[in-house]
A and B are shown apart, each in its own frame.
Chain A
Amino acid sequence: MKDKPTRREVLGHAVRGATLVGLGGLGFYLIRKANGEGVWQIDCEKCVNSRLGAVGVEVCDYCATSCVLGLSAVRAVNDYSICGRCYICPAYFDIKSAVNEEGLPSQKLCPRDAIDRKPIGWVDPDDPANNYYEYAIDENLCNGCGKCVMACKEPAGLNSIRLVVRYDLCLDCNRCTIAIACPDEAYERKPLSEDEGVG
């Protein structure tokens, strides 16, 4: 058993102690700066698919194609407090397609058929346009390609659809591949409290 620590041991303890104090100081400094959990969010004022004014431009589908997940963590979300519940929804129908016998566009806009359309209440068979229709997006099918978001934009629509990152699906990658691909810098990793999301 050693009675007296050698000079080398004392020095070692001193260096160790200093390093631990330094790490502790770094920890305290970081904890004071800690402002909650950063989550990837889409700023829809920047996203070309949802920002107002960007009309007549190509739909940006990087949210669907750039995510590391097979099915992207981004979903289109219909805000029911804004949705006009139109008879002919420009996000549900491809309004450029030919008219069918019912007087509706024959094609749907969503390439994955993720939007469900159902009338609210009783529909007059002679005047089906005089009714409200509810449009729900199937979260299991939607891949966040943004076509419906672009189609529902002013002045054709009411801007009720937007793209959101689904926090339960998002892997919260340090280096979000969609954020890198996004041409509008619309992706930001912000504290959860700054989410102005719907609902």
Chain B
Amino acid sequence: MNPRTGVKKTNVTEQGAAGFSPHGAASALEFAALANQSRPRGMKPAALLFSLTSFSLTSFLLISVVSVGVFLLGATQAFAQQIDYERPVDVAPSPEDIGEEYVLPVTPQAPPRAQWREAVDVAVLAAALLLCTWIVLVRRSRRWLVVLSIGCLLYFGFYREGCICPIGAIQNVVVALTDPNAAISYFVIAFFLLPLIMTVLFGRVFCGGVCPLGALQDLVLLPTAGRGAGRYIFTTAGGGAGRYIPLRVPRVLDKIMGTFKWVYLVLAIWLAARPTETRDFIICRFDPFVGFFRFTGPTHMLLIGAGLLVLGMFLGRPYCRYLCPYGAILSLLSRISWRYVTITPDKELDCGLCAESCPYGAMKDLRAEKSSCLFCARCFNACPRHRVRGRPEVTSNESSQSS
């Protein structure tokens, strides 16, 4: 229903032009309110208040007369310098009234984002996921992964300005499941489910090269100085005891902090499942990096985002590892993934360089841990076998016999 139709017409017919001849308490009330609105210092709403509390018809009529009198007095004397405003028409003039072959201008209306553009977003997501899978699991190239993640950062981050993302789509899906009146589009569903399906099949490819938040953190992580034993930037004479980049979080602490993301996920689902009035999308509210994608945002979130990026220079992907609610789901699903990152297919060469290269603490017993491997492909770069041979032929979990 258009709010202007219906109600307005009855007003006009009952009240007469601009309501200058009020014939009832309702008109008087409205009129007093109008006078109060347009002349704030002229007539204090004492008459209005009194008319509200009086009940007899005679009082109403009396108040009507008094308020009109006060209004006219105020209009003619106290505010002589301003115009005596009066609405000149009751209805819009038709083009025939205006004449002179007047054409009614089109009221401006902007169409929403075209559906095909949304479909392109989904297609880009699917293509990026497949490409990332190929780069990490088959091509095993860190360089191409960086290219892909920069591309996805530009597209999903800076071009699409962070919306929509699968992380926030958790909330839309929860709302769609709990609120029968809520709107959800096919594209949101696709954004939510595609990375999940890819994770069940291939591991956390979404985290590795597609997620713009992950890419941003991955790119600010300071590279280590060199390769092998001399790689640490702040190496003390003893080597192992010194501070180095990226910071290694003790495994127990890493696991404990990793539970934060589950708390975050449960909280986000709980808040999104509440009724409309109290519903809150905390994942989007506390998205630390979306402010950078849009070059604007609440100051405290920009500060938190900057803080996380500074921390991310020394500690690999703090948001992904400890806070990301979608990462919580992915870490669970990746445990059953069909294919995953395999670092040393040749078991004879357990030199451990790959484990040292991992900035995310995802290596356990010289093997990549499925649930926490973020598909950054740094371990491939660190592998001397990989460097010698360029691209290893062995890509599956099976061990090869080449030497």
Contact = CB atoms under 8 A, between A and B. Distances in A.
Interface string B1-30: 111100110010001001100000000001
Given A23-B197, A84-B91, A52 B82 contact: no
A58 B241 CA distance: 65
A113 interface: no
A199 B109 contact: yes
Given A36-B183, A55-B37, A121-B99, A171 B4 contact: no
B105 A80 contact: yes
Contacts of B196: 23
B87 A198 contact: no
Interface in A67-114: 68-70, 77-88, 90, 95-99, 103-105
24 contacts: A23-B196, A26-B193, A27-B189, A30-B184, A31-B189, A34-B185, A50-B3, A56-B33, A69-B294, A81-B104, A85-B89, A95-B38, A95-B83, A95-B85, A96-B38, A121-B99, A154-B11, A155-B18, A158-B8, A158-B90, A174-B172, A174-B281, A175-B280, A199-B108
Interface stretch (B64-72, B111-119, B232-240, B310-318): B111-119
A156 B338 contact: no
B72 to A, nearest CB: 16
Given A27-B193, A99-B83, A171-B294, A190 B163 contact: no
Most A CB within 10 A of own CB, among B34, B184, B201, B338: B184
Contacts of B7: 52
A79 B2 CA distance: 11
Contacts of A143: none
Nearest to A83: B92
A173 B19 CA distance: 43
A173 B97 CA distance: 44
Interface of A: 12, 15-16, 19-20, 23, 26-27, 29-31, 33-39, 44-45, 50-52, 55-56, 68-70, 77-88, 90, 95-99, 103-105, 120-121, 129, 132, 134, 136, 139, 154-160, 162, 164, 166-169, 171-175, 180, 185, 189-192, 196-199
Contact of B297 (A30, A37, A68, A82): A68
A199 B106 contact: yes
Interface in B236-289: 276-277, 280-281, 283-285
Given A19-B333, A55-B34, A158-B91, A45 B1 contact: yes
Given A12-B336, A82-B4, A169-B110, 7 more contacts: A37-B185, A44-B3, A52-B3, A78-B107, A120-B100, A120-B102, A175-B281
Nearest to A82: B92
A84 B337 CA distance: 66
Given A99-B83, A132-B98, A158-B8, A35 B38 contact: no
A55 B33 contact: yes
A169 B111 CA distance: 10
A175 B182 CA distance: 14
Contacts of B90: 158
Nearest to A134: B105
B200 A174 contact: no
B4 A160 contact: yes
Nearest to A103: B83
A15 B336 contact: yes
B30 A155 contact: yes
Given A84-B88, A167-B112, A191-B183, A173 B284 contact: yes
The 6 closest A-B pairs by CB, nearest first: A38-B183, A167-B112, A199-B109, A175-B281, A56-B37, A175-B284
B161 interface: yes
Contacts of A199: 106-109
A73 to B, nearest CB: 10
B226 interface: no
Contact of A38 (B33, B93, B184, B277): B184
B186 A31 contact: yes
A27 B161 CA distance: 26
B183 A190 contact: yes
B183 A37 contact: yes
A33 B176 contact: yes
Contacts of A196: 1-2
B341 interface: no
Nearest to A44: B3
B171 interface: yes
A116 to B, nearest CB: 12
A15 to B, nearest CB: 5
B193 A23 contact: yes
A38 B38 CA distance: 39
Contacts of A77: 107-109
A103 B280 CA distance: 52
B368 interface: no
Contacts of A39: 112
Given A19-B200, A52-B8, A155-B18, A86 B184 contact: no
B361 interface: no
Contact of A16 (B92, B93, B336): B336
A159 B104 CA distance: 17
Contacts of B297: 68
Interface string B196-210: 110011000000000
B381 interface: no
Contacts of B168: 174
